[in-house]
Structure formats: structure tokens, C-alpha cells
């Protein structure tokens, strides 16, 4: 178990018991996300501040160990992926299907809500997805960031034949790449500062990879067009860096879409008139809604192989080492997985 903000420790806590419509899960795999590392290092992300000890972890899978009253969809022993955000199910956003925008959503490891980096954890049964036997628990944990990639591509309107630009090739960019590929993108071009990440993107099926070695976004946009032979229909920004968002605007085809997945400075200088006069739609992305089923189907059908992203494994007792590896990117770390039941 892991407590954020300067003091980090393992702690014994009572085993939680499932409430109505909840299941208790013996947690197995937990991937470390950039946000976990951010809370770990800085104790806050924007308006979310860790004011009291908090358990981290929200990219999780496990085995159902007990059922609360009313649960009929799962049974003890089922292997499940856990969708970490449980919305109110009552508001207009929930009713409209955009439950990621629910103001009352309870999301694991977003303060003050505890996460799932622990041995036992309880969660709403309808936000747990039973894994087929051939899908591993590590893949189950990867469904969370994969759902972000699926949602980003949906928001951008990626479809059969699309030309797609993915800016930033961290785990989220790489999973956006895999999603775009599975959705039928014709050509995908990726960017990053780091050649190792670009190499990974090429291994995962990117058609072109551009290393960012200039801060001139118009020059980068020109290189994108030259490599693709056209401007991309959809750009998926996954770094949050201002020059990269600027490149995304200049690069995107007139009438296309730029989706903002990356989180950088709260406010940035952007060539907004360029977007306006060319009708480049700029769309936000906040987590995902209704994307776990498709993410699971992509993995289960073999259309997406996300396993190469997992570069490191640690047992729960070595959580500090796992966070340090994720934070520093040591050894080419991309996705670091913690195993809670070893």
C-alpha cells in the first residue's frame, strides 16, 4: 500500500468489505501512470491536492474475492479489469452517456479518493469487466490507458483510411497509435523528443516517426506533411507541451480535428486564428466514457498487442523502486507494472 506526498510508506489497513452492488477484488496488476508519479512527487495536479494520506493506483486488474448484495453479473474467481471512475449515474452527463464529465464522479487515486495499489479493493461491479481466459491480468490493467487512446481517437473521428498524427510517444501516445491502427487508420505518424520512444512507436506499427529537434512548430508541421504526403485528418496531442500543440494546429488538415490529451501549462500561446480560418476543430479529452468494452475487444481479438509497452515489473513491496523507475524512465521504462499478489 502506498501513500503519496513526500512521506511514502506501506501501511496495514483493514480489508475493505463490498457494499451493495460492489465486489471485493484481490488486486493483481497495477500500472503506474504519469499522474500517480505526479502526485507522488508534487502532491497535487492542478486543483486536485493531496491533503491527507492517499493510496495511489488506478490502472488495475484483479480477481473477484467476494460479492456485495445485489451483484449478479460477476462471481467469485472472475478475473476483471477495473474501470476506475464511478460516476453518479443520475446527472445529465451520465444520462447523456458522457459520464466522464459527471461532476460527482469518484475516481481512484484522485484526491481524496484512495486508489487500488493494495491487496484488496472494493469497486462497483458494473465498472468491472470480466477478462476472457486468454487475456492476461497485465493486459487488463493496460485497458485503462488504452481506453484513453480509444476515446482520443473517437473524439478525433479516426476511421478507416484516416491519416493520423500522434504528438508525443509516451504510453498514452503509443496506445493512441495502437487504437488508431485498430480503427483502420491508413498512415500514422508520431513525434517525440526521445528516439527510444520513437523506435518503440515504429515497432508498434507507426508508419513514420519524427524526432522533434526544433521549437519551430511550422517547420515540424511541414515535416509531417512531407513524410505523410498530405496533412493528417486527425492529430492527437499526447505531450501537453505548447510547441507540440502549436505543431498540432499547423499540421492538421483544414476541416480536420486536433484532440488535446496531453496536460501542460494551464494557459498557452496558440495560433488560434490559423485553426479558426481553416476550421480545424480543437477538442478536449477528459479520460474516457464507454471505452472499456472496445479496449477489451481490441486486446481479446488480438487486433491490439499492448504488451510490449510493459517494460518493468515489481512486487508490491518494491513499490518505491517501481515509482523511481517510472519517474526517471530508467532502463527505457515505458509502462511499469506492480504485482500486488506475489
The residues that touch ligand NAD, with contacts defined as CB under 6 A, are: 34, 148, 167-173, 191-194, 197, 212, 238-241, 243-244, 261-263, 285-287
Q: Which is nearer to ligand NAD, 163 or 169 (CB)?
A: 169
**How far is it, in rounded angstroms, from Cα 100 to Cα 259?**
16
**How far is it, in rounded angstroms, from Cα 221 to Cα 237?**
13
Question: Nearest-CB residue to Zn ion?
Answer: 102
Q: CB 99 → Zn ion: shortest distance, Å? A: 6
**How far is it, in rounded angstroms, from Cα 158 to Cα 150?**
10
Q: CB 312 → ligand NAD: shortest distance, Å? A: 13
Residues 292-323, buried b or exposed e (16+ Cβ, 10 A)? bebbbebbeeeebebeebbbbebebeebeebb
Cell of 218: 511550422
**Binding at 62: pick from ligand NAD, Zn ion, none (beta carbon under 5-8 Å per type):** none
Cell of 80: 476483471
Looking at the DSSP bridge assignments, the partners of residue 258 are 235, 282
**Binding at 43: pick from Zn ion, ligand NAD, none (beta carbon under 5-8 Å per type):** none
Q: Which is nearer to ligand NAD, 44 or 263 (CB)?
A: 263
Q: CB 171 → ligand NAD: shortest distance, Å? A: 4
Q: CB 119 → ligand NAD: shortest distance, Å? A: 25
Interface residues toward Zn ion, by CB under 5 A: 87-88, 91, 94, 102
**How far is it, in rounded angstroms, from Cα 280 to Cα 295?**
27
Q: 191 with 215: CB under 8 angstroms? A: no
**Binding at 240: pick from ligand NAD, Zn ion, none (beta carbon under 5-8 Å per type):** ligand NAD
**Binding at 291: pick from Zn ion, ligand NAD, none (beta carbon under 5-8 Å per type):** none
**Binding at 171: pick from ligand NAD, Zn ion, none (beta carbon under 5-8 Å per type):** ligand NAD
Q: 249 with 270: CB under 8 angstroms? A: yes
Question: Nearest-CB residue to ligand NAD?
Answer: 170
**Binding at 168: pick from Zn ion, ligand NAD, none (beta carbon under 5-8 Å per type):** ligand NAD
Q: Which is nearer to ligand NAD, 93 or 120 (CB)?
A: 93
DSSP string, 1-33: --B-SS-------PPP---TTEEEEEEEEEE--
Amino acid at each position: 500500500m502506498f501513500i503519496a506526498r513526500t512521506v511514502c510508506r506501506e501501511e496495514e489497513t483493514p480489508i475493505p468489505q463490498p457494499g451493495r452492488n460492489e465486489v471485493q477484488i484481490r488486486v493483481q496488476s497495477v500500472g503506474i501512470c504519469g499522474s500517480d508519479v505526479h502526485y507522488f512527487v508534487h502532491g497535487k495536479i492542478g486543483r486536485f491536492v493531496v491533503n491527507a494520506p492517499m493510496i495511489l493506483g488506478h490502472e488495475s486488474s484483479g480477481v473477484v474475492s467476494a460479492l456485495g448484495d445485489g451483484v449478479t453479473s460477476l462471481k467469485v474467481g472472475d478475473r476483471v479489469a477495473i474501470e476506475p471512475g464511478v460516476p453518479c449515474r443520475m446527472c445529465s452527463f451520465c444520462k447523456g452517456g458522457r459520464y466522464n464529465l459527471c461532476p460527482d464522479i469518484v475516481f481512484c487515486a484522485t484526491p481524496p479518493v484512495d486508489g487500488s495499489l493494495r491487496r484488496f479493493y472494493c469497486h462497483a461491479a458494473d465498472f468491472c469487466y470480466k477478462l476472457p481466459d486468454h487475456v492476461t491480468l497485465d493486459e487488463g490493467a493496460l485497458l485503462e490507458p488504452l481506453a484513453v487512446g480509444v476515446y482520443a481517437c473517437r473524439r478525433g473521428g479516426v476511421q478507416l483510411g484516416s491519416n493520423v498524427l500522434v504528438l508525443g510517444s509516451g504510453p498514452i501516445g503509443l496506445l493512441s497509435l495502437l487504437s488508431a491502427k485498430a480503427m483502420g487508420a491508413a498512415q500514422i505518424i508520431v513525434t517525440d523528443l526521445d528516439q527510444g520512444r520513437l523506435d518503440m512507436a515504429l515497432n508498434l506499427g507507426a508508419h513514420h516517426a519524427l524526432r522533434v529537434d526544433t521549437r519551430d512548430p511550422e517547420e515540424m508541421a511541414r515535416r509531417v506533411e512531407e513524410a505523410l504526403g498530405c496533412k493528417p485528418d486527425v492529430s492527437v496531442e499526447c505531450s501537453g507541451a505548447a510547441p507540440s500543440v502549436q505543431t498540432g494546429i499547423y499540421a492538421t488538415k483544414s476541416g480536420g480535428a486536433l484532440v488535446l490529451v496531453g496536460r501542460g501549462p494551464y494557459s498557452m500561446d496558440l495560433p488560434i486564428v490559423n485553426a479558426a480560418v481553416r476550421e480545424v476543430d480543437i477538442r478536449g479529452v477528459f479520460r474516457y466514457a464507454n471505452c472499456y468494452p472496445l479496449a477489451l475487444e481490441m486486446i481479446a481479438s488480438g487486433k491490439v498487442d499492448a504488451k510490449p509497452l510493459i517494460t518493468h515489473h515489481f512486487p508490491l513491496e518494491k513499490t518505491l523502486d517501481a515509482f523511481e523507475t517510472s519517474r526517471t524512465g530508467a532502463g527505457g521504462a515505458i509502462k511499469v507494472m506492480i504485482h500486488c499478489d506475489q
